A and B are shown apart, each in its own frame.
Chain A
Amino acid sequence: MSKKILIIDDDQDIRSYLGDLFGDNGYETVMAEDGAVAMEVAENEKPDLITLDLEMPGEWGPRFYRKLSQSEELKRTPVIVISGLQANKYAIPKAIATLTKPFDAEELLRIVKDTIG
């Protein structure tokens, strides 16, 4: 069974780009446009990995991450931060990687592959 990735980003273009990228490489994807929606999706879909934007109009990435880390079922889900913010690596210190937009697709795929296979 293919691994499932939850893509959280308010930018439709980034969502569809990441969706295509992961889809082409054999992953299943689900999407959410901000942190509040993402929590519901994560609970229902139980993704194997999450890519997380930080700045979103509703609930920001770090707040989503806090909720995620409080959930017994989801707290071990690996998270990759993908954001254009300054010094974004400090936002979620426990993330497995932090990529700055524009990011390198090869690098992202490598990290995903190393993490969930």
Chain B
Amino acid sequence: MFKKILLATTGSPASFGAARVAFDMAKRYGSEVTIFHVVGVPTKAFSHVVNDVRTGEEVEIDEEYLAWVEEELKTTFAKQFEGADNAKIVLTTGVPAREILREARKADSDLVVMAASSGENASFHKGYPGSTLQKVAKAARCPVLSVHRESASYWGGFSNILFGTDFSKQAESAFKFALSTARELDCDLTIFHALDISGKVLDQNEIEENLIIARKRIREAYVPLMGDFKNYDIEVWEGTPYVEIVKLAREKSVDLVCLAHHTNELDPERARIGSTVEQVILRANCPVVSVSKPDKV
């Protein structure tokens, strides 16, 4: 299920966690990994002069420059390349999000792995994932796995998956992905709903009734789809959704959080990455995969 992994990277330290996840997955699950790097955005259409993504300087794209960039990437990820038989580097120019999507489509990738941001302008990116991840996660046909904190860079193999649901249409795709991953890799699966009570003062009876309703809803919506898969738990907690997801993930030593884009938008084409997913990506202590489309799950 992770046959082709596309690691979209700037090569900056912010993406080291993502790289470690991608390479470890490739080694563990026998995947092919493509290190995809957009060298720069052309200064004019069809121009061979680009702004280097690292330095921001204008450079002319020639073979020498490309060879240098490739060498840099090889040096940066030298440790990961050891023992990774099925790894290659692809370089291109253009707008990063668009090129990543194009490559994922062209290569028919099963998974895009990337960092939440390039790490520049850290004070801004502390609170929000970068625009490239936003765009890729929104539009990719395949699941997009992101690793933000270096601490969250995967601790060796998936064994416990947390699927967070808001009962949206998109969550169905995320659930399918979580279930098939859990089945294939023999993981435990926790199906979780966080009852959003942020900013509200609710009667405790009302909260507990809603928790019972949500539990029942999970049983009705997801349990029938699981067939003979029995390694699952159902949890429903009240609170601020992203906080509860991160807390539960930490408590249960989860190694993959699987979410759909939280949104009220029913049309998956128009749905954009929501604040819950954003915050979970930035805070979780494990990789977070966002799935919204039914393809590739």
Residues in A lying within 8 Å of B, measured CB to CB: 35, 54-56, 59-63, 65-66, 69, 86-93
Query: In the complex, which residues of chain B have a beta carbon less than 8 angstroms from the beta carbon of A65?
Result: 253
Nearest-Cβ distance from residue A32 to partner chain B, whole angstroms? 15
Answer whether A90 and B152 are a contact pair too, CB < 8 Å, given A63-B159, A66-B159, A66-B160: yes
Answer yes or no: B157 CB below 8 A from chain A CBs.
Answer: yes
Residues in B lying within 8 Å of A, measured CB to CB: 149-153, 155-157, 159-160, 250, 253, 255, 285
Query: In the complex, which residues of chain B have a beta carbon less than 8 angstroms from the beta carbon of A91?
Result: 151, 155
Nearest-Cβ distance from residue B13 to partner chain A, whole angstroms? 10
Give the secondary structure class of B's interface: loop
Answer whether A63 and B156 are a contact pair too, CB < 8 Å, given A69-B253, A93-B250: yes
Question: Taking CB as reference atom, which chain B residue is nearest A91?
Answer: B155
User: Do B156 and A55 touch across chains, with their CB atoms under 8 A apart?
Assistant: yes
Question: Taking CB as reference atom, which chain B residue is nearest A60?
Answer: B156
A59 to B157, CA, bound (A): 8
Number of A-B contacts (CB under 8 A): 43
Nearest-Cβ distance from residue B53 to partner chain A, whole angstroms? 23
Nearest-Cβ distance from residue A46 to partner chain B, whole angstroms? 22
Known: A62-B156, A63-B157, A63-B159. 6 other contacts (CB 8 A): A35-B156, A63-B156, A63-B255, A69-B253, A89-B151, A92-B253
Subset of 28 A-B contacts with CB under 8 Å: A54-B155, A56-B156, A59-B156, A59-B157, A60-B155, A60-B156, A60-B157, A61-B155, A61-B156, A62-B155, A62-B156, A62-B253, A62-B255, A63-B157, A65-B253, A66-B160, A66-B253, A69-B253, A86-B153, A87-B149, A87-B150, A89-B151, A90-B151, A90-B285, A91-B151, A91-B155, A92-B253, A93-B250
User: Do B253 and A86 touch across chains, with their CB atoms under 8 A apart?
Assistant: no
A2 to B87, CA, bound (A): 50
Nearest-Cβ distance from residue A89 to partner chain B, whole angstroms? 8
Query: In the complex, which residues of chain B have a beta carbon less than 8 angstroms from the beta carbon of A61?
Result: 155-156
Query: In the complex, which residues of chain A have a beta carbon less than 8 angstroms from the beta carbon of B285?
Result: 90, 93
Answer whether A63 and B149 are a contact pair too, CB < 8 Å, given A69-B253, A90-B285, A93-B250: no
Question: Taking CB as reference atom, which chain A residue is nearest B149?
Answer: A87
User: Do A86 and B156 touch across chains, with their CB atoms under 8 A apart?
Assistant: no
A88 to B163, CA, bound (A): 25
Question: Taking CB as reference atom, which chain B residue is nearest A86?
Answer: B150
A35 to B156, CA, bound (A): 10
